[in-house]
Amino acid sequence: MSDQGFAVLRLEAGDGDVFRDIRLSAFRFAEDSFASSLAEELAKSMDWFETRVQQDAIFVARDASVILGVVGLSAKAGSKEAHKGFVYSMFVLPEARGRGVGQALLEALIDEAKARFESVQLIVVSTNASAVALYRRAGFESYGMEPRALKTAAGVYTDDLLMWKPLR
């Protein structure tokens, strides 16, 4: 445990259920912030989640009994993009926000990324001001905007902010 009352851990083989549970929570609380939908996530097999845990670096913040947040780091596909990592699934439970959980998760991810990549990229819904501010504090810079990137079931569009952080 940290001074903040939580620990950041990297998920290991066999933790697919842990990743699934916190990812489904993310979609229940903030579905419009993700490119997928809750229905699509519910339809994914446990093997899908287990494969992500085994292939990617997925970190969770946990207090004594609850997973408070999650973030994933994957390698870009293809040899010409292998020098770049991609941040995904960043989420902190609403009741855990303001405790440094997001910052601690990003720090763990960046430490991992420095050993593997030259830079990391992410996509965030442009209206998610707290997430954008967190990423900026962590050293991410904007490099573009995709207008109307996502369209909700209600027909509402959101723009995606593209960000990156050079690591070396």
What pLDDT sits at residue 101?
Answer: 97
Is residue 131 situated within a structural domain?
A: yes
Is residue 52 situated within a structural domain?
A: yes
The secondary structure of 83-141, three-state, reads: CEEEEEEEEECHHHCCCCHHHHHHHHHHHHHHHHCCEEEEEEECCCHHHHHHHHHCCCE
Is residue 49 situated within a structural domain?
A: yes
What pLDDT sits at residue 2?
Answer: 54
Residues 24, 80: Cα–Cα separation, whole Å: 33
Q: Does residue 57 sit in helix, strand or coil? A: strand
Residues 34, 28: Cα–Cα separation, whole Å: 11
What pLDDT sits at residue 77?
Answer: 86
Per-residue pLDDT of the chain (168 residues; tens, 9 = 90+): 556 789 999 999 999 999 999 999 999 998 888 889 999 999 999 999 999 999 999 999 999 889 999 999 999 889 999 999 999 999 999 999 999 999 999 999 999 999 999 999 999 999 999 999 999 999 999 999 999 999 988 899 999 999 999 998
* Predicted TM-score of the model (pTM): 0.93
β-strands 84-92, 119-125 pairing: parallel
The enclosing domain of 105 has a CATH number of 3.40.630.30
What pLDDT sits at residue 32?
Answer: 84
Residues 79, 61: Cα–Cα separation, whole Å: 32
What pLDDT sits at residue 1?
Answer: 52
What pLDDT sits at residue 3?
Answer: 60
Tally of domains within the chain: 1
Is residue 2 situated within a structural domain?
A: no
| Residue-number span of the structural domain to which 49 is assigned | 7-166
What DSSP element (H or E) covers 59?
Answer: strand 57-62
Is residue 106 situated within a structural domain?
A: yes
Is residue 1 situated within a structural domain?
A: no
Please give the backbone phi and psi of residue 121, each rounded to the nearest 5 degrees, phi first. Answer: -125, 160
Pick from 93, 139, 122: which is nearest to 35 by CA? 122
What DSSP element (H or E) covers 51?
Answer: helix 46-55
Question: What residues contact 168, with CB distance under 8 A and at least 6 apart?
Answer: 114, 118
